Structure 1
């Protein structure tokens, strides 16, 4: 799964990397982004790329209770096209979720050791995400998202059996293209994506609590 990540890049770096022509109103760099929080995402509105904030934890448009979002922070890419919560979103509501690293917890004899994992080749990247809009009469619309995951590659399998789908740079435009696609076609697209070369190091259990923030989250463990 992917349950925590970071985004410390400057606003200018993000605008340049993702070819955005706008301000990122409300943007702040983060060391410990957790489910239920607002995360920077990018969609294509048919004319341009647009960045904004989505709450992490998908609430499908048909859901009766928005609390379901806390159970839907990730979607398995291998089976998403079969699931009512995700298959229509694969077809038409795909987004980029901007990050520069993520955390995973490796099981050891001494307990779970948190690791910070980042790209070995680039400072910024995007997870493949899905989004939806939930609304009921008398309440503000709720825009939420989920991060797609896949089976761990040879690097990640020593840490965890799953990993987030990180989009290659040349696949980002196709992922968010405002074109309706069959969910199975999208599933095959993800399956064929190469995995990102990664690097990792141990960090303190300080990062375990989503209430903790700051450079202590990413400081290499002595």
Structure 2
């Protein structure tokens, strides 16, 4: 199998990448390393990196097949500001980016974390781990960006989200659309302050946190 053969496709990427980019251009610092958690196929990574030329994009995923896809997409798009994808499980108490394992790789410090469509298709412990890791890694002013469907005030914002939540919970009882208030509370405990909420297409939200102290 050639690297190009390893490319995988996520249909939602083409639908949401432009609206997400619009928000990222507003909230991300102008330069530095952007750590992407659960990068999936790598389509988002190459799309964003090619338009954020002064930033370096560090994709990660627990799935080796998806890491192969990220490599293939990076080579296909000839992206010179995308690092080689790395294994990272947010539930681990110490991430590899903290213990020096990535020091040989990083050309610029991590100044923001991006996480798209993960916390509703993973156990709640993944959201807790994400916030804990972001609180440890980001310096004051650092940005954590989340994208996906959320409940607000404990209620679904659309009938389609409610149906999606039922589908997810049928697939795995530990999955499901999260209540934004609960996510904000976990973030706050890690000195991550809610900065902005953006309404996105298909009843999704962009949620931006900033490391406060």
TM-score in terms of structure 2 length: 0.29
Higher helix proportion = 2
Higher RCO, Cα 8 Å, sep 6+: 1
Higher strand proportion = 1
